[in-house]
């Protein structure tokens, strides 16, 4: 019998109405929204269920919203007694993984993520930075493209999502030049991302420093389920490393491909993506086509996942 991993999505997966069906059917999921609203001081359910895309897209709203949706969608699995052997999340999704693992309280996670979103947004003025997904090049080629464009400013790999999909981040001119070089090197496409700041690069260092101070205020417990960290693609060895890995994560690349390979190497053959969208499931399939991917974001996906796992 293979092992199960719960994986949690990051920014870009959000949409108005996410988790509404699950909350309508499970009071435990609705309670998660209530708890988040109390922690944040505003009605996050109203924003997620009845708001508009523009408000939801603001980084300091998106980050706590996605983790709230993910933890709400997790509740039916917990009710059914389904547990994971490993857990991980993409960028802000790593906070949901830690909540599931018991590392810190859910209300602390949503408060941290609202601040994290604000700090990341404030680190670089809107329009100064950008991010582009490079499709069809190796890691080495993307690193070369960034090196060749650095005379225009900061440009660095930000997300190693899966083979042939690497996101670069930095100052807009440098990112544009690196993307053009990537195409010359044989990239199939260079796709600009609709983000409000250049995440996971050294320009985020001021945000990381501010977050570090906030992480110090939060109680960290020993993990009940191994969490695989974005910053090195390895299992977080103990609670004392959690703050450091989340601090470094803000201004360092997300090694998602490495995270998935670590879990597969430890016997995981079923990945359950919990929260909005199926972006991570797509990445996982490109990393290892032999594993099974399931997801939970509404009643039909939940019913299918429960059928598969029972």
Active site residues: 91, 200
CA–CA separation, 136 and 140 (whole Å):
12
Q: Residue 203: which residues within 8 A CB-CB, separation 6 or more? A: 123, 124, 129, 154, 169, 170, 171, 251
Helix 205-215, helix 106-123: angle, nearest 10: 160
Give DSSP secondary structure letters for 44-65. HHHHHHHS-HHHHHSHHHHHHH
Residue 5's SS3 state is: strand
CA–CA separation, 255 and 24 (whole Å):
35
Compute the half-sphere exposure of residue 54: CA atoms within 13 Å on the CB side of its CA: 0
CA–CA separation, 305 and 23 (whole Å):
17
């Amino acid at each position: 019998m293979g092992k199960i991993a719960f994986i949690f999505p990051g920014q870009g997966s959000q949409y108005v109405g996410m988790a509404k069906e699950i909350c309508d059917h499970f009071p435990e999921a609705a309670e998660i929204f209530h708890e988040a609203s109390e922690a944040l001081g505003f009605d996050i359910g109203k924003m997620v269920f009845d708001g508009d895309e523009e408000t939801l897209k603001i980084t300091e709203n998106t980050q706590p919203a996605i983790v709230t949706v993910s933890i709400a969608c997790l509740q039916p699995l917990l009710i059914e007694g389904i547990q994971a052997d490993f857990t991980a999340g993409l960028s802000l999704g790593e906070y949901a993984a830690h909540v599931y693992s018991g590392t810190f309280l859910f209300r602390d996670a949503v408060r941290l993520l609202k601040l994290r979103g604000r700090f990341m947004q404030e680190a670089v003025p809107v329009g100064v930075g950008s991010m582009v997904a490079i499709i069809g090049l190796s890691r080495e080629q993307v690193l070369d493209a960034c090196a060749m464009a650095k005379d225009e400013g900061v440009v660095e790999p930000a997300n190693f999502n899966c083979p042939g999909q690497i996101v670069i981040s930095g100052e807009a001119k440098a990112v544009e030049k690196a993307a053009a070089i990537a195409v010359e090197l044989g990239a199939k496409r260079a796709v600009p991302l609709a983000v409000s700041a250049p995440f996971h690069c050294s320009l985020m260092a001021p945000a990381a420093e501010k977050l570090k101070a906030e992480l110090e205020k939060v109680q960290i417990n020993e993990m009940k389920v191994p969490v695989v960290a974005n910053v090195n693609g390895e299992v977080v060895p103990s609670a004392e490393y959690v703050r450091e890995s989340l601090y470094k994560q803000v201004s360092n690349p997300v090694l998602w491909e490495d995270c998935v390979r670590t879990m597969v190497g430890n016997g995981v053959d079923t990945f359950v993506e919990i929260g909005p969208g199926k972006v991570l499931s797509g990445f996982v399939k490109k990393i290892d086509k032999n594993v099974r991917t399931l997801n939970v974001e509404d009643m039909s996906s939940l019913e299918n996942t429960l059928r598969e796992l029972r």
